[in-house]
Amino acid sequence: MADQPYYLTTPIYYVNDKPHIGHAYTTLACDVLARFHRLDGDDVHFLTGTDEHGQKVEKSAQAAGVDPQAFTDQVSQNFRRLAEDMNYSNDDFIRTTEPRHIEATQALWRKIRDNGHIYLGHYEGWYAVRDEAFYAESELTKDDNGNKVAPSGAEVEWVKEPSYFFDLSKWQQPLLDYYDANPDFIGPDTRRNEVVSFVAGGLDDLSVSRTSFKWGIPVPDDPEHIMYVWLDALNNYQTAVGYPDTESSLYSKYWPADLHMVGKDILRFHAVYWPAFLMAADLAPPKRVYAHGWLLNRGEKMSKSLGNVVTAGDLVDRYGLDPVRYYLLREVPFGQDGYISHETMVGRINSDLANDLGNLAQRVLSMIVKNCDAKVPQPQALTADDTTIIAAATDVLAAVRGEFERQAFHRGLEAIWKIVGDANRYVDAQAPWELRKTDPERMATVLFVLADVIRRLAILVQPIMPDAASAMLDQLAIAEDDRTFAALGADPAVVPGAELPKPSPVFPRYVDDETAA
RNA sequence: GGGCCCGUAGUUCAGUUGGUUAGAACGAACCGCUCAUAACGGUUAUGUCGCAGGUUCGAGUCCUGCCGGGCCUACCA
């Protein structure tokens, strides 16, 4: 059970994009899982990074007057900064322009080619020179002169260029068999259904090289071609664990990946193309791909044209990092689209964090400092009420683990907050402020029990809110080594006699400027 | 056009293989407490479970049709 390997990945983000809340959301979910598994004693490898090849990058670099490598060196920093600002605990940050990735991806190409699954053909389609893009027949319309034009209005012409193809059409049945044998491969279920029906509908061979631009990984033995997008991008997951050295300690430990987290827009690449590529190379497909939904700004899709794009930085500046981390995973059922708004943010911060959890810690710690000489009190024999709540706070881990394994973060948090509620009810039922006058020893026991319940809650909440949880555990004088899930059992618990600092609220209420007056 | 999912209290959602008076949270009203970040606890209320049929002793829970919303995918021209 100890030291189980757990390898999870975010998508690699396209460097040409500016980081927005969607990137932050995907990586946040992974970060929470990574931290959870580490606390659970697993040997975690958590990867994120940037996708740096392609025509758009080539053009942007040109426009900036620098070569593509220098350009990507610069803009990939935007995503490294995001990782730092959001307190992500990734173990590696991969860039597709790194030598290790170029080497790994050419090796994958050779393997697939040598297995007979890549052939040379022609890529053809309607090409708009002005847009430098191909369009499907269905996207085209006719202008006044009867010429076919792209949605942009640009004239298109039928273009044919040599291209290597991957024989995706041959993988329909193997893929369907794989889905069938691995019912948890794609989540949530509704996405799984979509993918299965897409594959069942038949697959076309996939163009996997281009000659029309240069910024990419050269095709082995035919440098006129560069590899096209997905083969390059997807293989980052293998590169980072040492491919092509499949005997390496990293690869043999971490492959196949336990989870690829993706947005729903790129599910097909991960759930169809990627396992097909891997099977074609005699490699194991990942164990699970999970496609989450979109965050909608008050119900509207965020877009540049609407001017309602929210960045993680905007939210963190206003509400604080840990509250934002909590909010994003608690408010929206992961996997579905969901609204975010100032009102719901304030609701979560004030109700769940300030009033329920924060105030629980504050009221209990204040009583201990005032009435127990600022030391963890010495308990007497525990009553049934005491053992019940302690057991509940301990047992909830199993429920949370189960929910997180299905990426149901909101459900896991709900389960933890049920215990927060229990603890507040316990305070009221035991009324330690009465016991202070009537039965000081019982008061001491009640406060001890509460301190230990708060300890457990803080330990559980660490993956979501690392800094705030750490502050709570500091206030309980819990040693750094005693903060893993293994410490959720009875010992080591809060230590009677341990000196506690004067408590200060961990989660301040959010007060609107307008309503403050 | 084909496929998939959804439509349950003001709001966001749970409702397991069909079975007694349909649940939670937030919000609302009232009551209590006073340790605490004016926080906490208790009580109460509201639902034609999208609409119409059907199967069944019994349906939010299965079937059919319709209306409404979303997603995936295709095509005609």
**Strand A118-128 to strand A157-166: parallel, antiparallel, or no bridges (unpaired)?**
antiparallel
Q: How many helices (H) and strands (E) does chain A have?
A: 21, 17
Sequential pLDDT tens for chain A (517 residues): 458 999 999 999 999 888 989 999 999 999 999 999 999 999 999 999 999 999 889 999 999 999 999 999 999 999 999 999 999 999 999 999 999 999 999 999 999 999 999 999 998 887 777 766 677 766 666 666 767 777 667 777 888 889 999 999 999 999 999 998 998 899 888 899 889 989 988 999 999 999 988 999 999 999 999 998 789 999 999 999 999 999 999 999 999 999 999 998 899 999 999 999 999 999 999 999 999 988 887 767 777 777 778 889 999 999 999 999 999 999 988 888 888 889 899 999 999 999 999 999 999 999 999 999 999 999 999 999 999 999 999 999 999 998 899 899 998 999 999 999 999 999 999 999 999 999 999 999 999 999 999 999 999 999 999 999 999 999 999 999 999 999 997 665 888 999 999 999 999 999 876 543 3
* A371, closest nucleotide (Cα–C1'): B35
Cα A17 from Cα A52, distance rounded (Å):
11
Cα A23 from Cα A35, distance rounded (Å):
18
Nucleotides of B under 7 A from a protein CB: 2-5, 12-14, 25-27, 32-37, 39-42, 70-73, 75-77
**pLDDT at A113 (0 to 100):** 97
Cα A249 from Cα A166, distance rounded (Å):
30
**pLDDT at A515 (0 to 100):** 41
**pLDDT at A138 (0 to 100):** 64
Of A259, A265, A260, A286, nearest to A275 by C-alpha is: A286
Bond prior to A256 in cis (omega within 30° of 0): yes
A509 touches strand B (CB under 7 A): yes
Of A109, A107, A93, A87, nearest to A15 by C-alpha is: A93
CA of A321 to C1' of B24 (A): 28
User: Do A383 and A446 meet the contact criterion of CB atoms below 8 Å apart?
Assistant: no
**pLDDT at A140 (0 to 100):** 67
A358 touches strand B (CB under 7 A): yes
Question: Going from the N-terminus, what domains does chain A have, and what CATH number goes with each?
Answer: 5-117+167-292 (3.40.50.620), 342-513 (1.10.730.10)
A427 touches strand B (CB under 7 A): yes
A197 touches strand B (CB under 7 A): yes
H runs (alpha helix) in A159-289 = 172-181, 189-200, 230-234, 236-239, 249-254, 267-268, 274-280
Cα A237 from Cα A256, distance rounded (Å):
9
A330 touches strand B (CB under 7 A): no
Q: Which residues contact A301 (CB under 8 A, 6 or more apart)?
A: A294
**pLDDT at A516 (0 to 100):** 37
ipTM of the complex: 0.91
**Strand A141-142 to strand A133-135: parallel, antiparallel, or no bridges (unpaired)?**
unpaired
User: Do A226 and A216 meet the contact criterion of CB atoms below 8 Å apart?
Assistant: yes
Element of type H or E holding A290: strand A289-292
